[in-house]
Amino acid sequence: MLCLLSMALITSCHRPFDNKTNVLKVDTLQRLVNIIDQTLVLNEDTITKRNDSMTIKLSMIRSLYKDTTDGEIKAAIIRYAGIQAIYIDFLKNYPIMEMDEESHKKQVAQIKDQVLAQKISQEAFDKVFSQEKAQLAALNQKAKTITYNTITVEEDYLRNDPTITHLYKKLKNNR
């Protein structure tokens, strides 16, 4: 009887290691890493070149263009500056997100190796799993938001760039 009571106390304090369930949980982490990887597909070099070009154009326009009566050009300048702000946010955060994603990819692989080798306690696994899942969810949300913002301004960029480029060339030639 005492033996049964002590076994009941032991099992209530420590959950047994559930390898099959834990492997499935790690697989959900891996799927989330894959989703993030598929979200981070934009070409950073293209955005960098575009941002550099926009910086040059806007800098000249802001210093030389003084006609504030033309509403169409004024609106194009404001939209262009807004697009550039999104590109700046992208360029600031994108490399960090790629590094974070690589780090999480390695972390998930390590967790899976530990689970398969049963070198982690159930309590430690539960803690690591919860932390990793929360961090991956936050990274996934950030990646989706920044990628979405960058993609959705493409149409505005294509619509406004000719107006801004024309104004830029006009100001450059009249200097």
Q: Is 9 contained in some domain?
A: no
pLDDT band at 15 (very low <50, low <70, confident <90, very high): low
Mean local confidence (pLDDT), 159-164: 93
Q: How many structural domains are present in the chain?
A: 1
The parent domain of residue 140 ranges over 18-173
Q: Is 41 contained in some domain?
A: yes
Residue 76 is predicted with a pLDDT of 92
pTM of the entire predicted model? 0.80
What stretches of 14-153 show up as alpha helix (H) in DSSP?
Answer: 19-39, 44-64, 71-116, 122-152
Cα separation, 48 vs 38, whole angstroms: 20
Q: Is 73 contained in some domain?
A: yes
Q: What is the pLDDT of residues 17-41, one digit of tens each?
A: 778 899 999 999 999 999 999 999 9
Q: Is 40 contained in some domain?
A: yes
Q: Is 3 contained in some domain?
A: no
For residue 117, the 8-state DSSP code is T
Cα separation, 45 vs 95, whole angstroms: 11
Q: Are 84 and 54 in contact (CB under 8 A)?
A: yes
Cα separation, 62 vs 28, whole angstroms: 50
Q: Is 77 contained in some domain?
A: yes
Cα separation, 118 vs 147, whole angstroms: 38
- pLDDT(12) > 50: no
Residue 15: phi and psi, rounded to 5, are -75, 140
**Contacts for 98 with CB less than 8 Å, ≥ 6 apart:** 40
Mean local confidence (pLDDT), 54-77: 90
Longest dimension (CA), the chain: 99
Q: Is 2 contained in some domain?
A: no
Residue 14 is predicted with a pLDDT of 58
Both tokens assigned to 75 = 């609106």
